[in-house]
Chain A
Amino acid sequence: MKKTYLLEDLDCAHCAEKMEKEVGKLEGVSDSRVTFLTQKLVIEVEDDKADKITKEIKKIVKKFEPDVEVVEK
């Protein structure tokens, strides 16, 4: 299923790319895209993994930019 997150206060374009890459490596995620300008992360994730994935995504995002707020849409 497709999930969209808003990454509020995303400030560093370089970090955004790294987030995209790491989120893409998570188990069950087949596609991950971060758009710096719209501050959006869109992922394609297996249905049964969808619930747990948000927590892991928050961890990755915080690692690169601690100030970013991850909001699920």
Chain B
Amino acid sequence: MSKKLKKRIQRTATGAVVYLVGIFCSLFLSDHFSNILVLAVYLAAYVIIGGDVVKKAIKNLGNRRILDENFLMTIATIGAFFVGEYQEGVAVMLFYQVGECFQSYAVNRSRKSIAALMDIRPDYANVLRKGQAEEVTPEEVEVGETILIKPGERIPLDGIVTKGSSILDTRALTGESLPRDVAEGEAIASGCVNLSGVLEVQTTKRFQESTVARILDLVENAGSKKAEAEHFITKFSRYYTPFVVCCAVLLSLLPPLLLGGSWTEWIYRALSFLVISCPCALVISIPLSFFGGLGGAGKEGILIKGSNYLEALAATQTVVMDKTGTLTQGIFRVTKICPQREGITSEELLEIAACVEGCSNHPVSKSLHQVCDKEVDRTRLQNVEELAGQGMSAILAGRKVYVGNGRLMKHLGLQPTEAGEVGTIVHISREGEYLGYILIADEIKSDAKSAVEQLKAVGIQKIVMLTGDRKEVAEQVAKQLGIHQVYAELLPEDKVRLVEQLLKEKTQEKKLVFVGDGMNDAPVLARADIGIAMGGLGCDAAIEAADVVIMTDEPSKIIKAIQISKKTLTIVKQNIVFAIGIKLLILLLAALGAAGMWAAVFADVGVAVIAILNAMRAMKVR
């Protein structure tokens, strides 16, 4: 609690006691002299409780700001004194102050929780200079210097581990609770927490360009890209206050003049109007809801660059996804080994392929080596020849071996098995005999299928997959995932063209989301209504180009983002309807004389507090 707020509470409480004394006096004393005494006590209570409000009001008047909250409250309460409602005048001010304290407290609390979400800033770095560890601010460390990170410390700068191994807690960046292993030679991102061993890291970036600084910058500026709903509130409040004040003036003048009503009665009703005329509940709670939503998403490892994107996500109608790296791992792996001849084991087949392909740098040969646990013995290998577009040949342990595609086998006059599966197929033959094949494919991510199903479940009407990959591979993947619309063999510019076409097919209100891996999809990410980049950790291009960055590699986070967006918008709508509804209702009742100033104060600060509490819900993510 801030000092200012504490003082305010103390003052309000003191005033409340004096006010109670006043009520007590008025109950037991009724002669003329004590009436003046009671008035004096009420006035004292009023000054203690509302003195600062009146002071601010006068100051604002000097700055020609008459429609300010303080001024309106002052007019309303002093007005109440003049129409003889002393008790009510003090009570309304008291109630207003209590509400303001609550409001201040709620705002402070939400500010703190938001600050806690952004609490990933490293305070210092231990840099090794001349063999000594020196504690400096992260900004002072140059690229290429070596920093020391002890267990429990936050990694201050991006870099590469040069010594030691450890486990990293990446939760602050990715929302992923499973710790990550790191060893020598691996790149690590700032913002993670070192859990076990001591690490020496050579920095690769200055602090300003490091992951943690970029993320902080992104999160802090997210609030400045305002949503439609926020613009609506700004516009609404611009007209609302003057409108209500005008109504108040008319209400105090017209009925007594035209209908001969009592002046006190109508002025009192008009004063209630003034109390309700502040749009505070909306002005605070709507941005707060969006902030809560952005913060909640951040906790899940989903960085959204602005309230406008958070708002737009709820209107998603079309989801266009890139295949490689988004729905699939983007890494080739041996998925099947099929010996087709008796006496040949899987291990043998793999060993031959790995041995012969060992000389090549092709991703296929890399994936062969990953699974082949035997040390490849190159000395047994002779006359290695690359057959362009077909494969390789060599003499292995004195026997002629061919490793390559189906075309090569047919060229050799052999009958390779038609695998009927998708991926790269490596056939192997030895001494004119067909031995079998190995299937190498890009694996589909474990949560991709459920992600597609859930997208359908949340009402996404169109799911499209784009890829630069071969048609049969694309169709096979799409079939497994349950995606019906597939475009394959696309160049980057084809993707842009297709997305533009899809944008034309939908209505303006509905949104098109493109999900890519951020490496080479920048133009498409920019063209779509909302561009989502996957695997943002350590990829600057993705953070630059996209509107939403998913820090983990999981496509299921797309649904999470849409859900958070929908929940936030529900809260925003609730607050708008609730705040405006209550205000209009009390305005109506006050005009009819059925609601007094008490109700009016509730419509002002009470509604604001409730709306703020409701807005805080947006931060909680299931």
Contact = CB atoms under 8 A, between A and B. Distances in A.
Contacts of B234: 17
Contact of B284 (A9, A33, A36, A39): A36
Given A42-B221, A66-B56, A66-B59, A37 B291 contact: yes
A14 B279 contact: yes
A37 B280 contact: no
Given A13-B280, A66-B56, A35 B69 contact: no
Interface in B24-73: 56, 59, 63, 65, 69
What is the size category of the interface that chain A forms with chain B? 10 to 19
Contact of A33 (B56, B224, B278): B224
B220 A13 contact: no
A32 to B, nearest CB: 10
Given A33-B224, A39-B111, A14 B283 contact: yes
Given A12-B69, A17-B234, A67-B4, A37 B287 contact: yes
A40 B279 CA distance: 22
Given A35-B224, A37-B287, A14 B104 contact: no
Interface string A29-73: 000010111111010000000000000000000011011000000
B4 A9 contact: yes
A1 to B, nearest CB: 15
Interface in A17-35: 17, 33, 35
Contacts, number: 45
A9 B8 CA distance: 14
A38 B295 CA distance: 12
Contacts of A42: 221, 224
Contacts of A11: 104, 107
A37 B283 contact: no
Nearest to B2: A9
A66 B221 CA distance: 25
- In which size bucket is the chain B interface? 20 to 34
Interface in B271-306: 278-280, 283-284, 287-288, 291
B405 interface: no
Contacts of B280: 12-14
Q: Which of A33, A35, A39, A67 has the most CB of B within 10 A?
A: A35
Contacts of B151: none
A13 B283 contact: yes
Nearest to B64: A63
Contacts of B4: 9, 67
Contacts of B291: 37
Nearest to B55: A66
Contacts of A63: 63
Nearest to A14: B283
A2 B246 CA distance: 41
Nearest to B63: A63
A40 B287 contact: no
B164 to A, nearest CB: 35
B175 interface: no
B114 A37 contact: yes
Given A14-B279, A67-B4, A35 B111 contact: no
Contacts of A67: 4
Interface of B: 2, 4, 56, 59, 63, 65, 69, 104, 107, 110-111, 114, 220-221, 223-224, 234, 237, 278-280, 283-284, 287-288, 291
Given A36-B287, A63-B63, 10 more contacts: A11-B107, A14-B278, A14-B279, A14-B283, A36-B284, A37-B114, A38-B111, A38-B114, A42-B221, A64-B65
Task: Pick the 3 closest A-B CB pairs, nearest first.
Answer: A33-B224, A13-B283, A35-B223
